[in-house]
A and B are shown apart, each in its own frame.
Chain A
Amino acid sequence: EVQLVESGGGLVQPGGSLRLSCAASGFTFGRYAMSWVRQAPGKGLEWVSGASGDGGSTFYADSVKGRLTISRDNSENTLYLQMNSLRADDTAVYYCAREYPVTTFDSWGQGTLVTVSS
């Protein structure tokens, strides 16, 4: 069974940093592209960033380019999202999602809440 478990969310001040993790199990992690998708409170879904199976290609939404960095450790079956220069509008539940086929999100984690506030 595919399992994706996010962690690392919490309360952070504007301008601060946070690193999210997504631990994957139940499938061959390195064979799949992975993404982060976020959902602000009471709002819709927004794709944030994606990484190819080997991590060699990464992609970002314009809204986060230059501030958020996606990476993965295939030996640890873990996806990361390094979040810097955080703003209030980054407040959201962040979901880790497996892509199959590419940019179709067939499995999702339970999400981790990031709150940016002073």
Chain B
Amino acid sequence: DIQMTQSPSSLSASVGDRVTITCRASQIISNHLHGYLNWYQQIPGKAPKLLIYDASKLQTGVPSRFSGSGSGTDFTLTISSLQPEDFATYYCQQSYGSPTFGPGTKVDLK
């Protein structure tokens, strides 16, 4: 199975901050056409929500302050200006093989 890691495991930030979360796969999960990496947001007590798919494509209805980048084994989720509703846990997930998730990054209020 492809193993996923995320850093940091948690971070404290303020409204308006720029936040970056990194995800690394144990093997290459992209090619010249696709990055098989997705990002989800989970608010406590709620189901996960797809934010970014194919490494950099914004899911319909997701605010443009969210963006994704990366290729190969290293990927990044960026929130350009953190909003109150963005305090949540973020998971990466590879869709190259049998799906696996990263351990999550919890974003809380500084």
Q: How far is the CB of A12 from chain B (nearest CB, A)?
A: 22
Among B1, B48, B100, B102, point to the contact of A105 (Cβ < 8 A): B48
> At the interface with chain B, which of A19-27, A66-74, A75-83, A95-103?
A95-103
Chain B residues whose C-beta falls within 8 Å of the C-beta of A104 in the assembled complex: 38, 50, 53-54, 93, 95
CB pair A44–B53 under 8 Å, yes or no, is no
Q: How far is the CB of B51 from chain A (nearest CB, A)?
A: 11
Residue from the set A62, A102, A106, A109 with the largest chain B CB neighbour count within 10 Å: A106
Find residues 48-92 in chain B having any chain A CB closer than 8 Å to their own CB.
48-50, 53-54, 59, 91
Query: Is B33 in the interface zone, CB < 8 Å from A?
Result: no
CB pair B104–A106 under 8 Å, yes or no, is no
Among A50, A59, A62, A105, point to the contact of B40 (Cβ < 8 A): A105
Query: Is A11 in the interface zone, CB < 8 Å from B?
Result: no
CB pair B53–A59 under 8 Å, yes or no, is no
B side interface size, CB within 8 A: 21
Chain A residue with the shortest CB-CB distance to B47: A108
Sorting the interface of chain A by its residue count into under 10, 10 to 19, 20 to 34 or 35 or more gives: 20 to 34
CB pair B101–A47 under 8 Å, yes or no, is yes
CB pair B91–A106 under 8 Å, yes or no, is no
Chain A residues whose C-beta falls within 8 Å of the C-beta of B91 in the assembled complex: 44-45
Closest 9 CB pairs of A and B: A108-B47, A103-B95, A47-B99, A45-B101, A103-B99, A104-B53, A44-B104, A106-B50, A44-B103
23 A/B residue pairs, CB under 8 Å, sorted by A: A37-B48, A45-B104, A46-B101, A47-B98, A47-B100, A50-B99, A59-B98, A61-B98, A62-B1, A95-B48, A101-B54, A101-B95, A103-B99, A104-B53, A104-B93, A104-B95, A105-B50, A105-B93, A106-B59, A107-B50, A108-B47, A108-B48, A111-B47
